Amino acid sequence: MNAAYDRLTARFARMATINEAAAVLGWDAATMMPAGGGAARGDQLAVLAGLAHAQLTAPETAEDLATAEAGEQALDEWNSANLRLMRHAHTRAGAVPADLVEAQARANSSCEKIWREARRTGDFAMVRDALARVIGLVREQAAALAPVLGLSPYDSLMDGYQRGIGAADVAPVFAAYEVFLRDALPRAEALQAARPAPVRPVGPFAAAAQEALCRRMSGRAGLEAEHSRLDRSTHPFCGGTPTDVRITTRYDENDFAQSLMGVMHETGHALYERGLPAAFARQPVGEAAGMAAHESQSLIIEMQACRSEPYLAAMAVELAASFGADAAYEGANLARLLRRVGRGFIRVDADEMTYPAHVILRFRLEQALVSGDLVVADLPGAWNDGMRALLGVTPPSDTVGCLQDIHWYDGAVGYFPSYTLGAMAAAQLMAAARRALPDLDAALGQADLTPLVGWLRRHVHGMASRHGFNDLLRAATGKPLDPADFTAHLTVRYLT
């Protein structure tokens, strides 16, 4: 049994290394690759995906899993959890034919390249057929996974991003939030209108100065320069590997907040990767606990900590050092500026109260795309209808409508619920951290995130995938996901 388990850990480490190579190639494609390299990059990623899939589905893997499982009682809790996650990965991979895995990698890479130009020009027709191909392959994937996992087709896709959470769990949470938002948003808007409008700092803010500020604040949060990079991309993201984390942002010389808050968000992701247990590197149990868990770590940094009053007061000093004195950097004004509620079109620019509405829209649309109730050609109209229903606004173009996000164009369907589940978990974790760290606000007032990150290292990062999402929250906070902590946070911040 021990020999079988040892062979499995070696095989999974090899697969993880292949996937790490793909992650760095994906980062390069988004940041540095010339446009003419797209086709070759698609082939490279497809071959790597095929190699990893072949490792996972090899007959020897199945034989070693069966042998190791027969003696699982000899393993400790971490290794036993690792073995169960190996089985889950093997079951998922075995359900999907290798030719479909490679076809998806090629289709996703091709569609994502077309999407970049379609988004820039607002021409959905340019990418429509490529997206239809991607969605068609996603539906094939879901149809293959569903019976093997005992899940619905859409839930089988969600399972790839956050195990143990399905549409039936998410739908009532989202429906309840929609009811909350219907009352809370007009109230927040009225309170905001009755208060002094924020004063916008005077720009321009040179991109080089913004980048230096972003690097400084990310470093002060604990992200080590020797294990990370900061670059530019169309869509900000965190990628790479736990020892070589790649984060990206974009710069607007009229608005420093977009890059700074974006980098702090991605820094939260990066800190999670850096805090995973080295003893289980390149093993399933040593990975992050899922994308909802990952989003909780980006949002507890960006929304809960960096937009708090104490941190904004400290940020004022940093802004003056970067861009020169300006009364608009005063902490109370920054709070009005960076915590302003508004009914916008862009998810990544949305405030934390309206952001879930953007996710609810995508959750409903992608379920319809997977079920076949919505065809790709009708996506722009369905998108606009949904925005009107949820937020009362209609996008003036598809650039700020259904073309704004990379996810579907890169084959990531079932991911979007993780964003709002993560926001809710972040509020719950922050409430627990405040109970455990009575001096937290004093540290935040010095732009010092180390007490918070230290608490997260113990209760989230260091736990990796040993627990599922709700069990992770239960161990850290004493209860599974409780959306009431999120609405309580919003009530205090925006309705008082």
Q: Which residues are catalytic?
A: 266
Q: How many CB atoms lie within 10 A of CB 2?
A: 11
Residue (of 493, 479, 214, 487) closest to 356 by Cα position? 487
Residues ≥6 apart with Cβ < 8 Å to 186: none
Q: Where are the alpha helices (DSSP H) in 372-463?
A: 379-391, 417-436, 440-444, 450-459
Beta bridge partners of 240: 245
CB-based contact 391:383 (threshold 8 Å): no
How many Å apart are CA 141 and CA 129, to the nearest integer?
18
Q: What is the DSSP letter of 278?
A: G
Closest CA to 141 of 158, 128, 124, 125: 158
Tokens 């805090």 identify what position?
A: 275
> Residue 244 and residue 435: Cα distance in Å, rounded?
33
Residue of 113, 88, 92, 111 whose CA lies nearest to 101: 92
Find residue 238's DSSP bridge partners: 247
In 3D space, the residue among 210, 216, 283 whose CA is nearest the CA of residue 249 turns out to be: 210
What is the side-by-side order of every strand in the sheet holding 228-232?
Answer: 228-232, 244-249, 238-241
User: What is the residue whose two structure tokens read 């920054």?
Assistant: 334
Q: Which two tokens stand for residue 182?
A: 């219907």
Question: CA-CA distance, 171 to 179, in Å (whole number)?
Answer: 13
